[in-house]
Structure 1
Amino acid sequence: MTAYVALLRAVNVGGTGKLPMTTLAQICKTAGLRKVKTYIASGNVVFESDRSEDEVRTTLMDQLQAHAGKRVGVIVRTASELAETLARNPFPDMPAHRVMTLFVDGTVPTDPLEGATGIRNEQVRYGKRELFVFYPDGMAATRLRIPCEKQGTARNMNTVAKLSEMAAALTSSGSL
């Protein structure tokens, strides 16, 4: 059994993609996922499954489309990969709420800033399947637009840390 974290794209952000977390949990359970727990209202869920990452993503996307009537982007990471992402944070001394991890499917584009607009004082660093972005003035003040945002979803390091903790608890204790 593998512990996973699923991150939904554009859920409960800016008044779009309304999805109560109780509904998300039920969708996950209906999809056969076990030990399902959601975290805050932005589409974060941890669970266990014996399926592959691709199978989990496809199943969740299909279930969410059936529920919402439209495609919902889903990024899936194993508990260990999320922990590694947290450990690779290139901005460990910066306020965690100002460092975002932009999770993308597959590999990060060769030049993720190609076509980017609105760059000011933000700092961007590569990860494996993510980008790390430090927003010194906060995300509310930024004009930065990165093209690969359209294929991914971002979470601040506080959220990444909490999800990593929750997913690790699944693997270590067998339950949350």
Structure 2
Amino acid sequence: MKYCAFLRGVNVKGTNMKMADVCQVFKDAGMENVSSVLASGNIVFGSDKNAEELKVILEKAMSEYFNYEAFLFVKNSEQTELFWTQNPFEKNVDFHIYAFVGNECVEDILMKEFENATKTENEKAEIVSNIFYWQVPKGSTLDSNFGKVLGKKSLKDQFTSRNINTFEKIFKKF
């Protein structure tokens, strides 16, 4: 089966790694047809194992090789495609659209946080097919109240986010 692993916190805040090294870790852990999409920690690969097994195997391998606490989320190709095809927001050059990959029911936690946050003008969030989507004006991602929530240490093992354009690139890679 084809999968994509979405790594959290890669090449930000001092956790730097070359995607070629990450791909090698995946290969050494028994994954097949391994390749990366962008430098933000998106690894496309094949395996006969299920997503839960892969998460355990790959987090352990990444943690040991890079000497950090690795968090990643594994989705099969059909699940990954949904992040792209279910996007509820229209493309607009003035906005970033993010989709969140994470643990089961993380979309509900994120929506609660979003509802409690002060919003910038035209900042929106929606849940579609159990996927949390966030639209934010360009230039406001890190400054927005909700953007600051995303860095909470208590949520670091719960999710990671990607710009919607990243899902398009991953979808094409499959």
CA distance in structure 1 between the partners assigned to 2:86 and 2:170 by the alignment: 15
Distance in 1 between residues matched to 2:169 and 2:73, nearest whole Å: 17
Q: Aligned-pair distance for 1:55?
A: 0.9
Unaligned runs of 5+ in 2: none
CA–CA separation in structure 1 for the residues paired with 2:94 and 2:49:
32
Q: CA, structure 1 residues 142+164, in 2 after alignment: closer, same or farther (shift >3 Å)?
A: same
Partner of residue 4, structure 2? 5
Distance 1:136 1:18 in 2: 27
Partner of 1:130: 131
Alignment of 1:100-115 (within 5 A): 100-110=98-108, 112-115=110-113
Q: What fraction of aligned residue pairs are identical, expressed as a percent?
A: 24
Determine helix, strand or coil for the equivalent of 1:59: helix
Query: Deviation per CA, 1:129-154, whole angstroms, max 9, x where unpaired?
Result: 43100012342443322578531111
Question: Scaled by the length of structure 1, what TM-score is found?
Answer: 0.83
* 2:169 alignment counterpart: 162
Deviation, structure 1 residue 111: 5.1
Superposed counterparts of 1:49-128, under 5 Å: 49-95=47-93, 98-110=96-108, 112-115=110-113, 116-121=116-121, 122-128=123-129
1:77-125, Cα deviation, whole Å (9 max, x unpaired): 1111111221100013334971001111112353533344343231011
Tell me the number of residue pairs that the alignment of Structure 1 and Structure 2 aligns. Answer: 165
The 8 Å contact of residues 97 and 157 in structure 1, kept in 2 or not, is answered as no
Q: Take 2:94 and 2:71, find their aligned partners in 1: how far apart are those partners?
A: 25
